[in-house]
């Protein structure tokens, strides 16, 4: 195998790219990650901040995704206790809810089974006398409240911790740095990129495109031209409200379109999200629309009519979904790993919770294109710690 500067070059410093860098370095490979702005500067700092199995994905029969996410949640709770913490979720069921009490019970039972009936997978039903009152939840027409457990994190802090772990294992980071072009000849990727000091050229055995919503833009820079997947970009908005943090995360149903929305404690206040709105344009410019703001505020006022709903902050991120028929809400959410040419792998979509398992799968797919190396560590056992300035 020809000599190269690196075994794996990763483009994109979100949670997926950082995860691949960590998994590659843990497997003993020489890794370089290029990030054009900052680690977790885009979608990986604009999520719902949840490490969860995806209860709602049971409705669309995505059982494999839920099982994997629950397994990864358990791993993250173990290896990142300072970053990922268990939190109670409450599901209120009303007279006019589309998901009736029996359906919630059935879904939570299946969720517990997929979670192997471990302590964190248990759920319970609150009798009327046990309904939490201090949060100010609307009780008109309320029929039941269920409680189950998932986890919450600071998504940007988790991404930075994963990248720091990769660096400790020997991975290199160049940031800000942007790929200019790449070509594949003699079983090596020849890559030109630009950083603060000008343009550089390097070679790599494998190239991983983890550019998130820019994934197809990156493929345009690579020769020979590689086939791309047809995708749709979907923005998800969140509002941080000047309201006291609720005692749990409320998993509610939007009154108008019946979508699932989370109302969460965050930094001592209340965070609500998310939306699913078709996005067209440059992902760097994404921000909540007026319609999204009104939509989220109306949901909050419906469920917490006596609480203030003034906005402190708002943000939006862009998700990648495979092009398909039907609503965005019902689309499959697992990561698509697209090997479009020798040793060129692009990641389409992906969930925060499953980043580690996805990264391990990426390395397994690339291994036939890589030189033999001695593994250094197991990412399922490497402890992650918050990085302090």
pLDDT tier at 120, thresholds 50, 70, 90: low
Task: Provide DSSP, 7-68.
Answer: EEEEE--SHHHHHHHHHHHHTT--EEEE-SS-TT-SGGGSS--EE---GGGGTTT-HHHHHH
Model confidence band, residue 60 (pLDDT cutoffs 50, 70, 90): confident
Average pLDDT over residues 146-171: 97
CA 22, 23, 24, 28 torsion-angle sign: positive
Q: What percent of the chain has pLDDT over 70?
A: 96
Q: What is the pLDDT at residue 119?
A: 62
**Model confidence pLDDT, tens digit, residues 229-270:** 999 999 999 999 999 999 999 999 999 999 999 999 999 999
Residue 186 pLDDT > 90: no
SS3 321: strand
Give the model confidence (pLDDT) of 280-333 as tens digits: 999 999 999 999 999 999 999 999 999 988 999 999 999 999 887 767 666 666
- Whether the per-residue pLDDT at 272 is higher than 80: the answer is yes
* pLDDT range class, residue 194, cuts 50, 70, 90: very high
**Can you say how many angstroms the Cα of residue 251 is from the centroid of all Cα atoms in its chain?**
18
| pLDDT band, very low/low/confident/very high, at 226 (cuts 50, 70, 90) | confident
Q: What is the pLDDT of residue 225?
A: 87
Q: Stretch 5-9: mean pLDDT, rounded?
A: 97
- In whole angstroms, give the CA distance from residue 385 to residue 60: 35
* CATH number belonging to the domain at 86-151+232-330, selected among 3.30.9.10, 3.40.50.620, 3.40.50.300, 3.30.70.260: 3.30.9.10
User: Look-up: residue for tokens 């923005």?
Assistant: 235
Of 198, 197, 204, the closest CA to residue 182 belongs to 204
∠ CA 229-363-370 to the nearest 5 degrees?
A: 105
Full-model pTM = 0.95
- Mean pLDDT across 81-106: 94
Q: Give per-residue pLDDT as tens, 321-375.
A: 988 776 766 666 688 999 988 799 999 998 999 999 999 999 999 999 999 999 9
Q: Where are the domains of the chain?
A: 6-43+156-229+332-369, 86-151+232-330
Decide whether 6-43+156-229+332-369 matches 86-151+232-330 in CATH topology: no
- Report residue 2's pLDDT band, with 50, 70 and 90 as the boundaries: low
pLDDT at position 1, please?
63
In CATH, 6-43+156-229+332-369 is 3.30.1200.10: no
Long-range residue pairs from 166-171, CB within 8 A, at least 24 positions apart, any chain: 166/18, 166/21, 166/22, 166/24, 166/25, 166/31, 166/33, 169/22, 169/25, 169/26, 169/376, 169/377, 170/25, 170/30, 170/31, 170/376, 171/21, 171/22, 171/24, 171/25, 171/31, 171/32, 171/33
Average pLDDT of the segment spanning 4-16 = 97
Helix, strand, coil percentages (3-state) for the chain, rounded to 5, are 30, 30, 40
- Min mean pLDDT across 20-29, 198-207, 301-310 is at 301-310
Grade residue 130 by pLDDT with cuts at 50, 70 and 90. Answer: confident
| pLDDT value of residue 23 | 98
């Amino acid at each position: 195998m020809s000599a190269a500067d690196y075994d794996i070059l990763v483009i994109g410093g979100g949670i997926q790219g950082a995860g691949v860098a960590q998994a590659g370095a843990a497997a003993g490979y020489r890794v370089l990650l290029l990030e054009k702005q900052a680690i977790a500067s885009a979608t990986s700092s604009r999520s719902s901040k949840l490490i969860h199995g995806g209860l709602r994905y049971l409705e669309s029969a995505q059982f494999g995704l839920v099982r994997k996410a629950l397994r990864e949640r358990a791993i993250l709770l173990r290896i990142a206790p300072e970053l990922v913490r268990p939190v109670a979720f409450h599901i209120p069921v009303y007279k006019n809810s589309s998901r009736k009490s029996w359906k919630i019970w059935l879904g939570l039972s299946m969720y517990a089974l997929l979670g192997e009936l471990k302590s964190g997978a248990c759920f319970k039903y609150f009798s009327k006398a046990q309904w939490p009152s201090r949060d100010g939840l609307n009780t008109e027409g309320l029929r039941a409240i269920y409680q189950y457990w998932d986890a919450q994190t600071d998504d940007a802090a988790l991404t930075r911790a994963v990248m720091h772990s990769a660096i400790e294992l020997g991975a290199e980071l160049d940031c800000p740095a942007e790929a200019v072009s790449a070509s594949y000849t003699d079983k090596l990727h020849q890559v030109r990129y630009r950083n603060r000091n000008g343009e550089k050229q390097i070679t790599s055995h494998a190239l991983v495109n983890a550019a998130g919503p820019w994934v197809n833009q990156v493929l345009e820079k690579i020769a020979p031209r590689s086939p791309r997947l047809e995708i749709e970009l979907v923005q998800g908005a969140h509002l941080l409200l000047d309201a006291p943090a609720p005692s749990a995360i409320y998993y509610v149903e939007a009154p108008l379109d019946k979508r699932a929305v989370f109302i969460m404690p965050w930094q001592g206040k209340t965070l609500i999200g998310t939306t699913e709105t078709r996005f067209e344009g440059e992902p760097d410019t994404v921000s909540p629309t007026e319609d999204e703001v009104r939509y989220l505020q109306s949901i909050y006022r419906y469920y917490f009519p006596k609480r203030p709903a003034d906005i402190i902050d708002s943000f939006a991120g862009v998700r990648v979904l495979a092009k398909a028929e039907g609503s965005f809400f019902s689309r499959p959410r697992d990561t698509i790993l697209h090997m479009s040419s020798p040793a060129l792998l692009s990641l389409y979509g992906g969930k925060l919770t499953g980043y580690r398992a996805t990264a391990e799968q990426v390395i397994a797919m690339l291994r036939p294109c890589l030189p033999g190396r001695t593994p250094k560590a197991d990412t399922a056992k490497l402890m992650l710690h918050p990085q302090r300035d």
